[in-house]
Amino acid sequence: MRGIERQTSIYLGGVSGTRPRVPVAFDALEETAREAMSPEGFAYVAAGAGGERTVAANRAAFDRWRIVPRMLRDVSERDLSVELFGRRLPTPFLLAPIGVLELAHPEADLAVARAARAEGIPMIFSNQASTPMERVAEALDETPRWFQLYWSRSNEVVESFVARAEACGCSAIVVTLDTTILGWRPRDLDPAYLPFLRGKGIAQYTSDPVFQRLVSEDADDGEPDDDTPEPRPSLAALRTLINLTRAYPEDFWTTLRSGRGRAAVQRFVNSYSRPSLTWEDLPFLRERTRLPILLKGLLHPDDARRAVDAGMDGIVVSNHGGRQVDGAIATLDALPGVLEAVAGRVPVLLDSGIRGGSDAFKALSLGAAAVLLGRPYVYGLGIAGAQGVREVIQNFVADFDLTMGLAGCRSVDEVAAEALVRA
């Protein structure tokens, strides 16, 4: 649905007394999601690192550019499509990989997939998803999907994840590099809440044959030690144990008795990220897949240059929505340097702080090939499940479409640097 249709449907709803259930303005969207979600679930999504200065910087960077609209250019027909890796996409929006979506809604990744399918927007599966990729792929039908990888300490697990991603139709692998260590997030530290320790957001692992084998080997080694007498569990600990068990795709009671849920979490904690990762590791992945590989989280021009030299096929300029390094460079500020270093050899995408159509317009004007939606769609999910995600996507596409037309552009190709001035 394009801008005018979306506007009209909202205003017509008003005539018969209905208002959008999913607020259009970002602040109201966030506030409504806060009310709909559990306090720790909302905090996990909203959190930034440290004093959240990177979260603020991402927004401030957009505000430092102004659009200069052009007139009298017949913008009655507008083409929002972009081409990425030989495939034409209907709009320049993709859904960013977001882990632990069950914190927002019980239907989690499946609801997002249904929305992506209905709106024709590509979905990037998170390594920390709440639902195994194969099930989400099924729900997507023909909709494009990519897989986001966190490089595990076990190369066998990496291989297995990539092979599964290929088998379920993913058309690119996105390696996220900015989270080999978890950032310092006061909003999660104060309530002492990390979802993974409660068995949430580890479905790609618990559904993985290689990971399952490693858990069994741990059990054979007596790791973790299930014979140690347990202290009497508190109610909260019991709830956690039950959640852990549910993360494991076996009969609930069998898992509870065998302690595999806890063993899986233990194995996950021991192996999920690899801070020792270097450029020398990239050939391992390059040799194992013919899919395009994008590196997500690059901000320095030298890293971008090196990525292209290493045979990578794309870059996502991202600071993880300000969740990793407090006081980091805003992505829109990093974009020009990265683009210059890459010199058109591979597409450069951007995320972190996209809150409306004009943000996407600015990123594309400066040279981004496409943008990733992050927190806004999670908030839509929290408020109204799949329908909420659909509405958020529709609003972004509508806003972008209208901004493009009002700025005097008929297609994304015409969205170029001339459209912007420094504030």
- Please select the residue that binds ligand FMN; options are 32, 54, 91, 127, rule is CB under 6 A: 127
- Please select the residue that binds ligand FMN; options are 91, 176, 204, 395, rule is CB under 6 A: 176
320 is catalytic: yes
CB of 204 to ligand FMN, least distance (A): 10
CB of 266 to ligand FMN, least distance (A): 20
CA distances from 222 to 188, 205, 210, 250 (A): 32, 20, 19, 21
Q: Are 158 and 149 in contact (CB under 8 A)?
A: yes
Which is catalytic among the residues 187, 296, 320, 375?
320
Show the binding pattern over residues 138-167: x = contacts ligand FMN (CB under 6 A), - = does not: ----------x-------------------
- Using CB atoms, what's the residue nearest to ligand FMN? 374
- Please select the residue that binds ligand FMN; options are 22, 29, 33, 98, rule is CB under 6 A: 98
Residues between 257 and 316 that touch ligand FMN (CB under 6 A): 296
386 is an interface residue for ligand FMN by CB under 6 A: no
Beta carbon nearer to ligand FMN, 149 or 404: 149
126 is an interface residue for ligand FMN by CB under 6 A: yes
The DSSP call for residue 361 is: H
Which of 23-31, 76-84, 97-105, 282-290 is the region at the interface with ligand FMN (rule: CB under 6 A)?
97-105
97 is an interface residue for ligand FMN by CB under 6 A: yes
Which of 70-78, 109-117, 125-133, 278-286 is the region at the interface with ligand FMN (rule: CB under 6 A)?
125-133
Residue 217 CA to its chain's centroid (Å) = 32
* Best CA proximity match to 409, nearest among 354, 365, 367, 368: 365
Give the span between the Cα atoms of 37 and 245, in whole angstroms. Answer: 23
320 is an interface residue for ligand FMN by CB under 6 A: yes
Show the binding pattern over residues 344-383: x = contacts ligand FMN (CB under 6 A), - = does not: -------xxxx-----------------x-xx--------
Amino acid (one-letter) located at 121: I
Beta carbon nearer to ligand FMN, 96 or 210: 96
Show the binding pattern over residues 37-56: x = contacts ligand FMN (CB under 6 A), - = does not: -------xx-----------
Which of 95-103, 136-144, 302-310, 334-342 is the region at the interface with ligand FMN (rule: CB under 6 A)?
95-103
CB of 74 to ligand FMN, least distance (A): 33
Where are the strands (E) in 347-414, listed by range?
Answer: 348-350, 370-373
Q: Report the run of H or E that residue 340 belongs to, with start and end.
A: helix 331-342
Beta carbon nearer to ligand FMN, 214 or 332: 332
Give the span between the Cα atoms of 272 and 178, in whole angstroms. Answer: 14
Which residues, 6 or more positions from 205, have their beta carbon under 8 angstroms from its beta carbon?
A: 157, 211, 264, 267, 268, 272
CB of 214 to ligand FMN, least distance (A): 21
Cite the active site residues.
Answer: 320
Contacts with ligand FMN, residue ranges (CB under 6 A): 44-45, 96-99, 126-128, 148, 176, 296, 318, 320-321, 351-354, 372, 374-375
